[in-house]
Chain A
Amino acid sequence: MIKTGAQILWECLEQQGVTTVFGYPGGAILPAYDALKTSNIHHVLVRHEQGATHMADGYARASGRVGVAVATSGPGATNMVTGIATAMLDSSPIVCITGQVGSKLIGSDAFQETDITGVTLPITKHNYLVTHASQVAETISEAFYVASSGRPGPVLVDITKDAQQSTCEFDGRPITPHLPGYRPELAPTQAEYKEALELIHKAKRPVILAGHGIILSNAMQEVRDFAERNNIPVGLTLLGLGAFPASHPLSMGMMGMHGEAWLNTTIQEADLLIALGMRFDDRVTGNLKTYAPNAKKIHVEIDRAEINKNVKVDVALVGDLRAVLRELMPHVKSQDRHEWLSYIERLKGDSAVRDIQNLPDNGHLYAAHVINDLWRETLGSDTVIVTDVGQHQMWEAQYFKHEHPRTLITSGGLGTMGFAVPAAIGVKAARPEAEVWAIVGDGGFQMTMCELATMVQENLKVNIAIINNGYLGMVRQWQEFFYDRNYEATPLLSPNFVKLADAFGIRSVAVTQRSQVVPTVEMTRKHPGPVLIDFQVEQEDSVYPMVAAGAALHEMIRRPNPLEETAADA
């Protein structure tokens, strides 16, 4: 049948299983929007194209399916850049579709023309410029395949206006992508497996470093079996949280800059690191020169360009994590490791007292209290937490214990403020049955709060907990620690969030006392629509422990003695 490029586009998206897209119309994408009426796909109208990309990203991370964002040419496309880079750094499979000026006008600086394939070249896994209807079907099939296979990532498809309008024969048959140079998966050699096994069996003080790749590869059970069989403690990266149950006796929580002190110490004293689907980001290694100095390293990773990038490893197993662990498991011996585990248990006892439970009970509301109470209240329910970036993000990682994968959605690699509210909308669209909370600072919230209108228009119940401390808190903390408390440009005036939410038709309440936290959370969960809670917390609280940028992983700034801190408060 003869169809337009626009019709083919929606049909191909349906073939890929797309049910929801997040977008914003405009001149160069109008033919596609015109053809939307022939499709069953639900279009969510966002308030800013950055929001569309974060929603697609949240959708992808919550569901494991590819998220789709749509925008027009020029400013519509450039507004997507931050969201695309966010998805790139966190290996999130999204496909962004942008309109482009007519192919004859390309290069003429036409109205709303931007070379978006050029702009996004270094921040996409791959991108395409489509100039005729006959290329649409093939390109969409390739785009989804590239976005979701191997190490996932964002793919941008820029479609000229005439490509949307022109016609070609389209029989509706799915197209198998033809990409002769693309090899998403490799497999280790038997010799490499053998080397890895030898290191594992010889090690006296091994630690597993568990990352996002476990969730992407759906290897939770395999990792658990492996850790249990060989009795290896498991530390998690920020994006790995949920990949291994927090309540498991071998779980050691989060590593790195604001990680658990005992885990950072354990990593430094280990004789073997087994990195599973993580990339030795500078936030988890601290100073590379002093990182785990006595440890051999095994790196299981799907992207071979990550091998020896930051940390030189002894054995690299390049391949899909789940497949690699399945190959490895039959040869892994059961080991006791009593000495090592009981040593770690002692470290744990010390740190827990100093950093986790030692918040002064002085009547002030602390973010940690809020998050810990929220965790207790939602325990056992199907809850997804979406966080923004900054102090509240780290407190969430420390005080909310994640048992299941895809229950924490956060911008790790790029650290994109403004991520939480739109991403939470995407999460709720992907998993309507789940309870979704956006935890967000007063700074990040104001970056994308326009999406509250999207939430209301779409009738999505997303609960928003603003951790409001009147500062750009993490920056303030750095100023406190490293810039002589020169709080330049960090005090933050905010609108009355309760009134603001009211203007959007969202129920809202401000909380200033710890005693109000639980009742407010209860009320929020019962309320059928979205609720925004303005938690007005202690203003100058800091995240502890902290490994300063460039410091060794074990050189942590610890929470000061509570008595001293109380004195400083007064």
Chain B
Amino acid sequence: MLNTFVVYVENKPGVLTRVASLFRRRAFNIDSLTVGRTEKPEVSRMTIVVDADRDQAARVEANLYKLVEVLFVENITGKTAISRDLAMIKVAATHEARSHVLELANVFRARVVDVAPESLTIEITGGEDKIDGLLEVLRPYGVLEMVRTGIVAMRRGPKSAESNITVPAGTPAVEPTAPDDNVSYSV
């Protein structure tokens, strides 16, 4: 199953290589990996999606913690979280097809970011399913080019992952999936 990890790392040269090397070395399968800045300049944040069972996921977390520059790891799989993927899709849109494509983009609340005589480029942000859905309906018109960022994710509610950048509690025992008290409402 797919597990989503939020990983805070020190913003130092070579950290991405260390993380990537760990996944290769331990033969864990990365589905997607994104990395970017956080509100603290010395800290970067990764969202890593890994295909792993529960035991493997626990070991992914433990192995990430073995990297000296990893500050905090949270497996947010099964917890209420927002996850977003961004895609840009260049779709063939001739004169006749153009209005159909625009309509579909509207339905998916996607934006047109580039128009050319023979094509439209559509930007969409959302969960992976939503993007897969738009892709599916655009395919008959001819998808010329496509790029996706991979998932970025964040837990819902007021708690900040940042507050956890201290010593992690306890042991690698797989946590029972407790009811999530960190509640908020989708807008």
Contacts and interface: CB of A to CB of B under 8 A. Distances in A.
Given A181-B69, A192-B171, A304 B62 contact: yes
Interface in B39-92: 55, 58-59, 62-63, 65-72
A121 B168 CA distance: 25
Interface stretch (A305-313, A345-353, A425-433): A305-313
A368 to B, nearest CB: 39
Given A121-B17, A318-B172, A183 B167 contact: yes
B21 A122 contact: yes
B133 interface: no
A179 interface: yes
B55 A312 contact: yes
A121 B68 CA distance: 12
Contacts of A308: 55, 58-59, 172
A87 to B, nearest CB: 16
Given A121-B17, A308-B55, A180 B165 contact: yes
B183 to A, nearest CB: 27
Interface of A: 117-118, 121-122, 125-126, 129, 146, 179-183, 186-189, 192, 303-305, 307-309, 312, 316-318
A288 to B, nearest CB: 13
Given A179-B68, A305-B172, 9 more contacts: A117-B14, A188-B170, A304-B65, A304-B171, A304-B172, A305-B62, A307-B172, A308-B55, A316-B172
B116 interface: no
B71 A183 contact: no
Which residue, of B9, B58, B66, has the highest number of chain A Cβ atoms within 10 A? B66
A121 B18 contact: yes
Contacts of B55: 308, 312
20 contacts: A121-B17, A121-B18, A121-B21, A122-B21, A126-B68, A129-B14, A181-B71, A182-B68, A183-B168, A186-B171, A303-B66, A304-B171, A304-B172, A305-B59, A305-B172, A307-B59, A307-B171, A308-B172, A316-B171, A318-B171
Which residue, of A118, A181, A188, has the highest number of chain B Cβ atoms within 10 A? A181
Nearest to A150: B66
Contacts of A182: 68
B25 interface: yes
Contacts of A187: 170
Nearest to B62: A305
Contacts, number: 69
Contact of B9 (A117, A181, A303, A317): A181
A410 to B, nearest CB: 25
Nearest to B18: A121
Given A121-B17, A305-B59, A183 B65 contact: yes
Contacts of B128: none
A129 to B, nearest CB: 8
B107 interface: no
Contacts of A146: 68
Nearest to A313: B173
A312 B172 CA distance: 12
B120 to A, nearest CB: 41
How many chain B residues sit at the interface, stated as a range, is 20 to 34
Contacts of B59: 305, 307-309
A125 B9 CA distance: 17
Which residue, of A180, A189, A303, has the highest number of chain B Cβ atoms within 10 A? A180
Nearest to A306: B62
Contacts of A117: 14
A307 B18 contact: no
B128 to A, nearest CB: 29
Contacts of A179: 68
A183 B166 CA distance: 9
A280 to B, nearest CB: 13
A117 B21 CA distance: 12
A122 B65 contact: no
B170 A180 contact: no
A237 to B, nearest CB: 21
Contacts of A121: 17-18, 21
Given A121-B18, A308-B55, A318-B171, A180 B65 contact: no
Sort A-B residue pairs by CB-CB distance and give the 3 closest, nearest first: A305-B62, A304-B172, A181-B71
Nearest to A192: B171
Contact of B70 (A129, A181, A186): A181
A183 B59 CA distance: 16
A305 B66 contact: yes
A122 B165 CA distance: 25
A121 B70 CA distance: 15
A181 to B, nearest CB: 4
Contact of A180 (B14, B25, B67, B71): B71
Which residue, of A182, A183, A305, has the highest number of chain B Cβ atoms within 10 A? A305
Contacts of A125: 68
B66 to A, nearest CB: 6
A316 B167 CA distance: 19
A340 B69 CA distance: 48
Nearest to B167: A183
Contacts of B65: 183, 304-305
A180 B168 contact: no
Contacts of B67: 181
Interface string B172-187: 1100000000000000
A189 B72 CA distance: 20
Which residue, of A118, A186, A312, has the highest number of chain B Cβ atoms within 10 A? A186
Nearest to A309: B59
Which residue, of B10, B13, B25, B62, has the highest number of chain A Cβ atoms within 10 A? B62
Contacts of A317: 171
Contacts of A305: 59, 62-63, 65-66, 172
Contacts of B25: 122
A9 B14 CA distance: 23
Contacts of B9: 181
